[in-house]
Structure 1
């Protein structure tokens, strides 16, 4: 069950087109998985359209930034396609011998996904080119695998694609939308037997806070600069 969602303020910003593109992308992917937020976004969009009606023409005019955002999303190509029972086209992502169907919003970036690299222990990572000075990546945690304790010098947005993970503060499930900043310190670890796939966007390098992991902070900065 999805427990963590974008705020109503973020959803309004999403339909208005006033959010930074990286956050809009992650919210769009969350809407693909969350009927509750999709219904809210539809209601906010309809309200925005009603406010923009011109009595003389009786036509709906959406904010131009929203139109531009929608057009840019639709223009992004989708590579290998998977059509589910409902007729929606989605992309399959493979890692560790498993196939995951991506939300439609992320499927459009399938031709911008880099190679998977095996990091610490049971952790895998694949960068995604989205631009804008952000580092976007798929992270796969095998059973009991996780990321060492860290905090954030900027913001971290995460969407759980498949599986569950706990971070010492909360437990997150498929579809959960997570927004963290420099006030948060956590240690994500996969929960259950199937591992966990997430999509994460950060605007500053992670800062590891305990033990030997602090030694890789310089590498974290280099990786961020090379892939953002």
Structure 2
């Protein structure tokens, strides 16, 4: 069950097109997986459309002329789009089905590399939006305890994990910042795959991992 979602203010900004492209990407992926947020966005779209129409009518000096201009536009041609064949994300023979929004980025995903212990990472090139990562925690895998210099957006793609703050399931979305300190780890048989975007390097806060802080931007 999905228990963690973008809040209504975030969804309202998303529907209005007023969030950063990378944020819109991870929101879209969550909405692909979350029926509740999909319904909320549909309602917000209706509300914003009504508000926009009301504003247009209010400022229009000649409504009939405006309608005439709209109906006089040339009819658009139907475009037939062939369904694309997206490959699943794979790691050592294990295949992960991604939400629709993220499927196109499999071809822009780099090779998997083992970080520490049972932790794997594959970088994702988002083009002008920057960089993201798929992180896979095997059963018993964990990310060293850390806080954030910026923000960390995470979407659970497959499996479950905990971090000392809460327990997260497939489809859950979180946005954390410097006010949060956590240690993600997975203790389920299938491990956990997450998609994560950070705008600044992590800051490790415990143990030998603190020695990695000058280089954390190379890994996370």
TM-score (ref. length: structure 2): 0.84
Instruction: Give the drift of 1:47.
Output: 1.2
User: Where does residue 69 of structure 1 map in the other structure?
Assistant: none
CA distance in 1, matches of 2:38, 2:109: 26
Pick closer, same or farther for the CA change 1:38–1:47 going to 2, 3 Å.
same
The answer for the alignment partner of 1:107 in structure 2 is: 103
- Matches of 1:58 and 1:142 in 2, distance apart? 59
Q: Describe the SS at the equivalent of 2:186.
A: strand
Tell me how far 1:223 sits from its aligned partner. Answer: 4.3
Per-residue CA deviations over 1:167-221 (Å, capped at 9, x if unaligned) read 0110000000011000100000013111000000000001111111111112213
Q: Could you say what the CA RMSD is over the residues aligned between the two structures, in angstroms?
A: 2.0
Give 2:41's aligned residue: 41
Q: Deviations over 1:73-118 (max 9, x none)?
A: xxxxx9742xxxxxxxxx4111132111111111122221111111
Distance 1:208 1:134 in 2: 22
User: Would you say the 8 A contact 1:134–1:204 is kept in 2?
Assistant: no
Given that residues 22 and 129 in structure 2 are in contact (C-alpha distance below 8 angstroms), is that contact kept between their aligned partners in structure 1? no
Aligned partner of 1:175 in structure 2 is: 171
TM-score w.r.t. length of structure 1: 0.81
Instruction: Please say if residues 32 and 105 of structure 1, whose CA atoms lie closer than 8 Å, have aligned partners that are also in contact.
Output: yes
Q: Partners in 1 of 2:88 and 2:217 — Cα distance?
A: 30
Please give the secondary structure, in 1, of the residue aligned with 2:26.
helix
Q: Work out the CA distance in 1 between the residues paired with 2:148 and 2:84.
A: 33
Shift of 1:135: 3.5
Could you tell me which runs of 5 or more consecutive residues in structure 1 were left unpaired when the two chains were aligned: 62-77, 82-90
Separation of aligned partners in 1, 2:2 and 2:67: 39
Task: Answer whether contact 1:79 1:111 (CA < 8 A) is retained.
Answer: no
The equivalent residue for 2:183 is 187
Q: Which residue of 1 aligns with 2:149?
A: 153
Off by >6 Å, runs of 4+ in structure 1:
none
Contact 1:134/1:202 (<8 A) preserved? no
**Counterparts of 1:97 and 1:142, CA distance in 2:** 14
- Equivalence for 1:88: none
Distance 1:79 1:111 in 2: 12
1:202 aligned partner = 198
Cα pair 2:146 2:202 within 8 Å, conserved: yes
Asked which structure has the greater CA Rg, the reply is: 2
Correspondence 1:213 to 2:209: yes
Mapping 1:16-35, distance limit 5 Å: 16-35=16-35
Q: 1:163·1:174 contact (CA, 8 Å) conserved in 2?
A: yes
